[in-house]
Amino acid sequence: MESVKDKFLRYISVDTASDPDSDTQPSTNKQYNLLNMLAQELKAMGVKDASVDEFGYLMATIPSNLGQDGATVPTIGFIAHVDTAPDASGAGIKPKFFDNYDGSDIVVNSERGVILTTEEFPELLNYKGDTIITTDGTTLLGADDKAGVAEIMSAAEYLMNHPEFPHGEIKIGFTPDEEIGRGVDKFDVKRFGAQYAYTLDGGQIGELEYENFNAAGAKIYIQGRNIHPGYAKNKMVNAIILAAELNSLLPVDQRPEFTSGYEGFFHVVRLDGTVEQAMIQYIIRDHDMKRFEDKKCLLEECITFMNKKYGTGTLRLEMKDQYYNMRKEVEPHYHVVEKAIKAMEMAGITPLIKPIRGGTDGARLSFMGLPCPNIFAGGHNFHGKLEYVPVKSMEKASEVILNIVKLYSGK
């Protein structure tokens, strides 16, 4: 069998960045390159029905080997996304390896000053003796979520090579465009056919989440008035300055860099502009529904205030809810969480149950009728040049998948 590490390295060599400005599904055709590769690998393992549909969803089934005993065993799914975030380049990834990590600072790229220090990233010290894979300091790594993809593929290969391992029917799903909030827009839960599922899309080893943010996205379009700066007094309205003023009205302590745990935030993710026109974009997050709605109301009130100050229609808001806290849909099926806890303990892992400060495909799938908590994939510092993943964490995630399968089999 190919190691989970080698699978991961092959998968990150394929550029699969999604594109928020595209209106296609998937948003980039290059995601098909990895999806089709995975489908062929599954077929080569003996998973006969692996296929990729027109919307970029790969679905596959590993049939039960329990005979009549399997009739009462629920069908379990495992899901990961193939796209990487557009925040940093996902092309030409050149991984670096730090074997038998000794607990010192990791110099990722000395020329660019990209360094993983134990002072800033103390969690590194948890991985002494492990092999740590980093970027070369010029791209992201893609552990979000190709670590999850590799872990599911490794577990699938094990099951296909070990027919003595007891399991019910297993569903595998790989999705596109999760990083831009469209991962399950056209996911057919009925066709997928699982009763319960798990996303492999979390961070450090042991993470288990069945709570996530309520989420909204907001774009504010600002109309300025461009006048020659030599004659601009009392006439010019600079759209860039108005964007900065709007941002200053939002509470500083509710920015992501000042929040943790259950605290929500306003996160400005984009600003494009000239004097004449500008656009500022936010994501809004909170675990509590009331606080979530309060945040959206505050943004609306700020825009109303500025339109009174600068004239009706100067600022125009487009805001849309993206996903909601899955806890409401998962808790009635809490056994899915209990199985994951037990599976981690069987692997010698201490479960870290906490709210995820983000969202996964599983959050939306839970509201679509497929309870779907989230399990660690092992990576850290996603979406940037400081991303890394310990190899042992990926190996343990694949082991946890197999333990969940075994627990549901009742054997």
Catalytic residues, by residue number, are 83, 178
Alpha carbons within 13 A on the beta-carbon side of 167: 24
- Residues 121 and 167: beta-carbon distance below 8 Å: no
Nearest to 382 by CA among 400, 362, 357: 357
Pairing between β-strand 374-376 and β-strand 277-286 as defined by DSSP bridges: unpaired
Say how many Å lie between the first and final Cα of the chain, rounded.
24
Tokens 């994951």, located at residue: 340
Whether 130 and 391 have beta carbons less than 8 Å apart is answered as yes
CA distance 234 to 221: 22
Backbone angles phi, psi at 268, to 5 degrees: -80, 120
Structure tokens at 243: 């964007």
- Could you tell me where the beta strands, DSSP code E, fall in 160-225? 170-175, 196-202, 207-209, 214-223
Q: Pseudo-torsion of CA 224, 228, 231, 237, nearest 10°?
A: 10
Report how far residue 336's alpha carbon sits from residue 329's, in angstroms, rounded to the nearest whole number: 11
Sign of CA dihedral 309, 311, 315, 316: positive
Burial class of residue 309, CB neighbours in 10 A (0-12, 13-18, 19+) = exposed
Give the max Cα distance, the chain.
85
Using an 8 Å Cβ cutoff, are 389 and 143 in contact?
yes
* Structural contact between residues 390 and 128, judged by C-beta atoms closer than 8 angstroms: no
CA–CA gap between residue 314 and residue 27 (Å, rounded): 31
| Three-state secondary structure string covering 343-394 | HHHHCCCCCEECCECCCCHHHHHHHCCCCCCEEECCCECCCCCCCEEEHHHH
